A and B are shown apart, each in its own frame.
Chain A
Amino acid sequence: MLLDFEQPIAALEGKLQDMKQLATDSQVDVSEAVKALEEKIKNLKKETYANLTRWQRVQLSRHPERPYTLDYIHGITDKFIELHGDRTVGDDNAMVGGFGEVDGRSIMFIGQQKGRNTKQRQMRNFGMANPEGYRKALRLMKMAEKFNKPIVTLIDTPGAFPGLEAEERGQGEAIARNLKEMFMLKVPVICIIIGEGASGGALGIAIGDRVMMLENTWYSVISPESCSSILWRSWNYKEQAAEALKLTARDMLQQQLIDGIIKEPLGGAHTEPEKMMHSLKKKIIKLLDELESVDARERIMQRIDKFSNMGVVLES
């Protein structure tokens, strides 16, 4: 699948393929032309991805070929054992988690999981967790704390599920409890937005010592579409809403609401997933080294102070 702004690049890439094929078939030396075209593609990519609008970034964050939570976990770990269930109601397939081993280090990985085809998407509920998902996440975090293992959460959700049963089982309470409990976890917590970071459903697993965003992701209090429907009373203002919300990684860093941005390969994480996995792994290891050198209580207080400083108020 191609997004609008991916099409001109794909067209040139197709041309490049044809040219190379022609060269093999006819034994004609086209190396100069190939070089020139490759250069042209590189420049077009650079220009395109440097100038994406906020709405285009949102589209990229939802690209159907983008790596999802389990792709990253399997890409980063040498071994991974998935753990299921909240021990109360059931197992939420929209929220996954388990212990993984990274260069000899055990880490608890937790994240929302999206599906890649229709069947999977339904099974994963489009990455929208129910209360059991948040409670499973908390159970796993507490277990990591018990065994003194660090926690990495990967956030990719269009929101917590707004369903009937979700309300009956206390969606609000489940998220609220996670926020409070995550502040007091004695182990290092790293949170990384890998796709969509929509509202409380994202925040419910995003209280950490380091909150990072991949370059082409978004994180805000509401999706541009819902914002458009509420404030403009129409679904047609999603581009304006995305601009107004200032929801990209760069925006969020500027607002000091996240701690850093992890660069993606040119064209997005899906164009070179292996490269993306590699830099994500390197970043996680570096951050864990930093965080593990801090005393647990000190780390908790720094976590609290960081979030306490968020917001803009005036004393009139």
Chain B
Amino acid sequence: MPWFKRVEKGIHTPTEEKKETPDGLWYKCPDCKTVTSMVEHRKNLSTCVKCNYHDRIGSREYFAILFDDNQFTELDADLVSGDPLNFTDTKPYPQRIAATQKATGLKDAVRSAYGTMNGQPITISCMDFSFIGGSMGSVVGEKIARAIDHARETRTPFLMISKSGGARMMEAGFSLMQMAKTAARLALLAEDKLPYISLLTDPTTGGVTASYAMLGDFNIAEPGALIGFAGPRVIKETIGKDLPKGFQSAEFVLEHGFLDFIVDRKELKQQLSDLLAMLRPESDGKDNLKSKNGKAAKVS
């Protein structure tokens, strides 16, 4: 079964969710300090109208940007974290989870969904930094693994949007093994020859960088995103020097050969659609070139 479905071309502007209430009326860009109305900022997909600074957004916004008419079916929405280690630091882990769930309205640091993007079916997992720094615990690993399974079962491309500080320490060894679990599923996805696009957004560090985020057929990033394995503070302590300007920015990572391209959020949907369109399998009955070559090889 081909994973590519040919569709009519059309630009869809994402629709705002109606229940959404803006936190304030004005947005001030942390980079160039330009002030715009929140309505205009949102309309610009939370990028600065003046300097194009890409403000951090979450799964709700990315789904609205990418899925046609903001229509999608969420996968494993009810998966929540256990507390296998009875972990307590300055407060017990279950309390931390409950408080974060209440504050964010999210169940954990990743959401998965499927739907269409410019008419093309796609499965997407997207991380939420607002949930304990987008840290990767069992729920994150399991939801991503299941989303990849969904992509394999439905033969749809898989898009992973990463935004994470790395491991969830409160799940210790379990957290570490999520790197392995997700990598294993991506190995199977690759065997099935289904496209995997990894979008790295600000910030993507630690165990997330060292597993699924860097394993895309295409590793792409938003402008200015911080991307690295070790955090800047740790590196600074190690080398005992200030870090060069722009170190670990998306542009730096592109320059060093670990990204395919950087994409403006406003062009993300179209760029992804165009890229996936170029990967579509050749139509049936046109691959007789291969058999001809096979015969020729036998004759000689």
Co-assembled chains A and B: yes
Shortest distance between the CB of A87 and any CB in chain B (Å) = 16
Interface positions of B from 160 to 211, Cβ below 8 Å from A: 167-169, 171-181, 183-188, 190-191, 206-207, 209-211
Instruction: Give the distance in Å from the alpha carbon of A228 to the alpha carbon of B248 in the complex.
Output: 26
Among the 9-residue stretches B8-16, B86-94, B287-295, the one with 4 or more Cβ atoms under 8 Å from chain A is: B86-94
Tell me if A255 and B174 are in contact (CB < 8 A): yes
Q: Does A61 belong to the interface (CB within 8 Å)? A: no
Partner of B180, one of A251, A310, A315: A310
Tell me if A172 and B173 are in contact (CB < 8 A): no
Tell me if A203 and B180 are in contact (CB < 8 A): yes
Interface positions of A from 283 to 316, Cβ below 8 Å from B: 303-304, 307-308, 310-316
The listed residue with most A CB atoms (<10 A of its CB), out of B168, B211, B229, is B229
Q: Does B234 belong to the interface (CB within 8 Å)? A: yes
Q: Does B85 belong to the interface (CB within 8 Å)? A: yes
Among the 9-residue stretches B47-55, B63-71, B73-81, B123-131, the one with 4 or more Cβ atoms under 8 Å from chain A is: B73-81
Given contacts A255-B173, A312-B82, contact A163 B167 (CB under 8 A): no
Q: Does A170 belong to the interface (CB within 8 Å)? A: yes
Interface positions of A from 181 to 230, Cβ below 8 Å from B: 181, 183-184, 199-200, 203-204, 207, 219-222, 227, 230
9 closest Cβ contacts across the A-B interface? Answer: A162-B230, A311-B138, A172-B209, A179-B183, A172-B229, A231-B89, A310-B177, A171-B229, A312-B82
Smallest CB gap from B186: residue in A: A180
Shortest distance between the CB of B56 and any CB in chain A (Å) = 20
Among the 9-residue stretches A110-118, A143-151, A242-250, A263-271, the one with 4 or more Cβ atoms under 8 Å from chain B is: A242-250
Given contacts A184-B187, A244-B89, A257-B177, contact A315 B78 (CB under 8 A): yes
Smallest CB gap from B257: residue in A: A170
Tell me if A172 and B228 are in contact (CB < 8 A): yes
The listed residue with most A CB atoms (<10 A of its CB), out of B80, B174, B228, is B174
Q: Does A50 belong to the interface (CB within 8 Å)? A: no
Q: Does B61 belong to the interface (CB within 8 Å)? A: no
A residues near B248, Cβ cutoff 8 Å: 167
Q: Does B213 belong to the interface (CB within 8 Å)? A: yes
Partner of B243, one of A164, A222, A252, A303: A164
Instruction: Give the distance in Å from the alpha carbon of A172 to the alpha carbon of B47 in the complex.
Output: 27
Instruction: Give the distance in Å from the alpha carbon of A167 to the alpha carbon of B78 in the complex.
Output: 37
The listed residue with most B CB atoms (<10 A of its CB), out of A179, A312, A313, A314, is A313
Tell me if A183 and B177 are in contact (CB < 8 A): no
Given contacts A231-B169, A246-B85, A310-B180, contact A176 B213 (CB under 8 A): yes
Interface positions of B from 207 to 260, Cβ below 8 Å from A: 207, 209-215, 228-230, 234-235, 238-239, 243, 247-248, 256-258
